[in-house]
Chains A and B, each alone.
Chain A
Amino acid sequence: MLKKQPAHVLLILITTTLFFSLTFSAPLSGKAEEVYSHSKMAVYQIRVLDSATKEKVVIGSGFRFSADGYIATNYHVISKIILHPNRYLLECLHEDGRKESLELIDTDIVNDVAILKSKLNSAPYLKLSNTTMPKGKRIYSMGNPRDLGMTIVEGNYNGLIEESMYKRILFSGSLNPGMSGGPALDKDGRVIGINVSTYGQQLSFFVPITYLQILFNDVKKRGGTAISDWNQRLLGQLSTHQQQQVDKILSKPWKTVLIGDVSAPGQIDTIFKCWAETEDKDDSYFKRAYYYGSSTDLLYLDEDLQTGKIEFSYLWFEGKQISSLHFYSILSRFFMPYKKLFHSNKQDINNFNTRQSFIKINGSDWKISFSTREFKKFKNLYEVYVTLVSVSEKKKGITIHLSLLGITKDNAIRFVDRFLENISWQK
Chain B
Amino acid sequence: MAKIIINIEDNTHKETYSFNTDMVSIGRGFNNDIILSDPYVSDAHVQVEKTEAGFCIKDCNSSNGTFIEKNQPINISTIINSGECFYIGKTRIIIYDPNHPVVAAKHFVQDSFFMELLKKTNWLSTLFFLTVFVVLYWTDGVIDLMDKEPFLKMLIPSLSFTILIFFCAGFWTSIGLLVKKKNNFHKQFAIVSLFFSVGLILSYLSSYAGFLLSSEVINTSLLIISELILFFIVIQLTLRFATNISKKVSLIVAGSLCLMLFLPVSIVSAEKYLDFNQLPVYSSYLFPPAVKFVIAKTPDLFLKDCAKLFSN
Contacts and interface: CB of A to CB of B under 8 A. Distances in A.
Interface of A: 281, 283-286, 323-332, 335-337, 339, 342, 344-346, 351-361, 365-372, 374, 380, 382, 385, 387, 389, 391-394, 409, 412-413, 416-417, 420-421
A389 B294 contact: no
Interface of B: 142-148, 211, 214-216, 276-289, 294-300, 302-303, 305-307, 309-312
Residue of B285, B294, B303 with most partner-chain A CB within 10 A: B303
B303 A329 contact: no
Contacts of A412: 310
Contact of A369 (B282, B288, B295): B282
Residue from B148, B279, B280, B309 with most neighbouring chain A CB atoms (10 Å): B280
The majority secondary structure among interface residues of chain A is mixed
Contact of A352 (B211, B281, B306): B281
B289 A329 contact: no
A78 to B, nearest CB: 28
Contact of A339 (B279, B285, B300, B306): B279
A218 B297 CA distance: 49
12 contacts: A330-B146, A342-B279, A351-B276, A352-B279, A357-B302, A359-B296, A360-B299, A366-B296, A370-B303, A371-B282, A382-B310, A417-B299
Contact of A417 (B286, B289, B300): B300
A285 B307 contact: no
B286 A328 contact: yes
A413 B307 contact: yes
B147 A374 contact: no
Given A325-B288, A357-B214, A413-B306, A281 B282 contact: no
A375 to B, nearest CB: 11
A328 B298 CA distance: 23
A285 B148 contact: yes
A409 B310 contact: yes
Given A359-B297, A365-B296, A374-B310, A413 B303 contact: yes
Nearest to A362: B299
B273 to A, nearest CB: 8
A262 B112 CA distance: 56
Contacts of A335: 284, 286
Interface SS majority for chain B: loop
Contacts of A365: 289, 296
A371 B283 CA distance: 12
Contacts of A358: 214, 294-297
A394 B289 contact: yes
A369 B276 CA distance: 19
B285 to A, nearest CB: 5
A394 B276 contact: no
Contact of A355 (B148, B211, B302): B302
A387 B309 CA distance: 16
B284 A368 contact: no
Contacts of A326: 142-143, 145
Contacts of B277: 351-352
Contact of B214 (A361, A367, A393): A367
A361 B306 CA distance: 16
B297 A352 contact: no
Contacts of A421: 299
Given A352-B279, A356-B215, A413-B307, 17 more contacts: A283-B147, A326-B145, A329-B286, A332-B284, A335-B286, A337-B280, A352-B280, A354-B282, A355-B309, A357-B296, A359-B299, A367-B214, A369-B280, A382-B310, A387-B282, A409-B310, A413-B306
A285 B298 CA distance: 33
Contacts of A357: 214, 296-297, 302, 305
B312 A355 contact: no
B302 to A, nearest CB: 5
A416 B303 contact: yes
A394 B309 contact: no
B196 to A, nearest CB: 19
A285 B282 CA distance: 26
Given A329-B143, A357-B297, A409 B307 contact: yes
A284 B148 contact: yes
Contact of A283 (B148, B215, B285, B310): B148
A325 B147 contact: no
A355 B283 CA distance: 10
B143 A385 contact: no
Contact of B278 (A339, A353, A368, A417): A339
A284 B149 CA distance: 9
Contact of B305 (A355, A367, A417): A355
A393 B281 contact: no
Nearest to A337: B279
B310 A367 contact: no
A420 B301 CA distance: 13
Nearest to B148: A283
Closest 4 CB pairs of A and B: A371-B280, A346-B276, A324-B288, A352-B280
Q: Which of B143, B211, B305 has the most CB of A within 10 A?
A: B143
A117 to B, nearest CB: 36
Contacts of A369: 214, 280, 282, 284
Q: Which residue, A327, A370, A382, A387, has most C-beta atoms of chain B within 10 A?
A: A370
B302 A281 contact: no
Given A325-B143, A354-B282, A391-B289, A417 B303 contact: yes
